[in-house]
């Protein structure tokens, strides 16, 4: 029995709290969505919960456990439509009905095929009043990577780079360590620790010989993906037993040598952009939710030219190095018309270690 009364201040506040709780699951629940739940009784919070770990109890179950008998006749605020199928855990609709919740307020319907309105229908069939759309914009922003994976079959793409104030990734001789401050590099490690894959070009793998791991380790261990062949003596190959390493080569790829412990992924495509898009399709099929492209200019340029970037994290150091031949962050074909330049929204700016750290999402979800 859906209802659509005006959203009250209490409803808005409780959903905002549920979204705060949901965000705590970032990096720990994927490919499941981050979900939070608040249970109230006559306007008083009696239980809170969030999805804490992939395969663990969902937000509703945790909130109901905290509420106990006080959930009966109360209202449940949930950031995503309650599931109605049995997966790694029982359906949350069953838990809500067993607890006797009288009203359910939902921010966003779940497009997952085994839910997609079915959870709301089960509530209706049981005589529970529900509302949808409270806090929807904020919930969609939080759930954007999950929604993209479900609806489009691709992971959320984060582009990251560090550059000098005059827009250089390195000097004209290739020297790049270190552009950014230790504090900025610490933030990069945190970012790596919550994504499913880190992607770099073959030039970056060869010239910088990076590890691409999170130090210290985060909640996730990202696969390290190189768009091209990987040098056999690289740190990536030497640490292949610690985190997956994938070498992306043009199909059929039979003539490429792959070092021991490294997976070869052959993809079709005439251009760097087409091959990168094929890589993202494969990662989506593997249920990866967030991937980080760290460069260099060719890889970021391929992502830019293909409209594949969802989010940008840029670290700008107060340094100048000059050089007409020094690389800038984004190569590729670029744009001819400035009016078509990608614009970021929801921009946040911090100053770690004297750098400028700017992050935001590509307006209107271009990818």
Residue 297 in marked binding region: yes
Residue 92 in marked binding region: yes
Residue 192 in marked binding region: yes
Grouping H, G, I as helix, E, B as strand and the rest as coil, residue 328 is: coil
Residue 224 in marked binding region: no
Residue 321 in marked binding region: no
Long-range contacts, stretch 228-231, CB < 8 angstroms, 24+ apart: 228/201, 228/202, 228/203, 229/202, 229/256, 229/257, 229/258, 230/202, 230/205, 230/258, 230/259, 230/262, 231/205, 231/206
Q: At what angle do helices 92-99 and 118-125 cross, to 10 degrees?
A: 20
Residue 218 in marked binding region: no
Residue 215 in marked binding region: yes
Active-site pick, 20, 30, 44, 60: 60
Residue 296 in marked binding region: yes
Give the residue ranges of DSSP H helices in the chain. 9-22, 59-67, 92-99, 118-125, 136-152, 182-192, 202-207, 235-238, 272-285, 297-305
Q: Does 60 participate in catalysis according to the annotation?
A: yes
Please give the Cα distance from 278 to 289 (Å, whole number).
Answer: 15
Residue 278 in marked binding region: no
Residue 9 in marked binding region: no
Residue 58 in marked binding region: yes
Kindly report the length of the chain: 367
Annotated binding site for Zn(2+): 58, 83, 92
Annotated binding site for NADP(+): 162, 178, 204, 208, 296-302
Annotated binding site for substrate: 176, 192, 212, 215, 294
Q: Which active-site residues does the annotation give?
A: 60
């Amino acid at each position: 029995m859906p209802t659509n009364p005006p959203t009250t201040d209490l409803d808005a506040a409780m959903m905002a709290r549920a979204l705060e709780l949901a965000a705590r699951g970032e990096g720990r629940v994927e490919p499941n969505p981050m979900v939070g739940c608040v249970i109230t009784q006559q306007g008083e919070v009696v239980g809170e919960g969030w999805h804490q770990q992939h395969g663990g109890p969902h937000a509703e179950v945790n909130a109901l456990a905290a509420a106990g008998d006080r959930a009966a006749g109360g209202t449940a605020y949930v950031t995503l439509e309650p599931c109605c199928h049995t997966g790694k855990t029982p359906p949350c609709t069953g838990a809500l009905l067993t607890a006797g919740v009288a009203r359910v307020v939902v921010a966003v319907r779940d497009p997952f095929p085994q839910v997609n309105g079915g959870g709301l229908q089960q509530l209706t069939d049981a005589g529970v009043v529900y509302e949808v759309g409270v806090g929807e914009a904020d919930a969609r922003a939080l759930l954007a990577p999950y929604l993209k994976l479900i609806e489009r079959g691709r992971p959320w793409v984060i582009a990251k780079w560090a550059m000098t104030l005059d827009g250089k990734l390195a000097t004209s001789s290739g020297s790049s360590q270190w552009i950014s401050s230790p504090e900025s590099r610490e933030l990069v490690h945190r970012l790596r620790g919550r994504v499913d894959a880190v992607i770099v070009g073959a030039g970056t793998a060869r010239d910088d010989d990076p590890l691409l791991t999170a130090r210290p380790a985060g909640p996730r261990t990202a696969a390290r993906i190189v768009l091209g062949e990987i040098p056999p003596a690289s740190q990536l190959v030497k640490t292949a037993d610690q985190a997956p390493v994938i070498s992306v080569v043009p199909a059929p790829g039979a003539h490429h040598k792959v070092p021991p412990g490294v997976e070869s992924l052959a993809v079709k495509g005439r251009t760097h952009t087409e091959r990168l898009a094929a890589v993202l399709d494969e990662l989506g099929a593997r249920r990866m939710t967030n991937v980080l492209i760290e460069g260099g200019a060719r890889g970021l340029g391929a992502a830019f030219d293909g409209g594949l970037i969802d989010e940008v994290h840029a670290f700008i150091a107060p340094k100048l190095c000059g050089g007409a031949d020094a690389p800038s962050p984004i190569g590729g074909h670029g744009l001819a018309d400035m009016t078509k330049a990608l614009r970021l929204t929801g921009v946040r700016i911090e100053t770690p270690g004297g750098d400028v750290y700017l992050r935001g999402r590509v307006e209107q979800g271009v990818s």
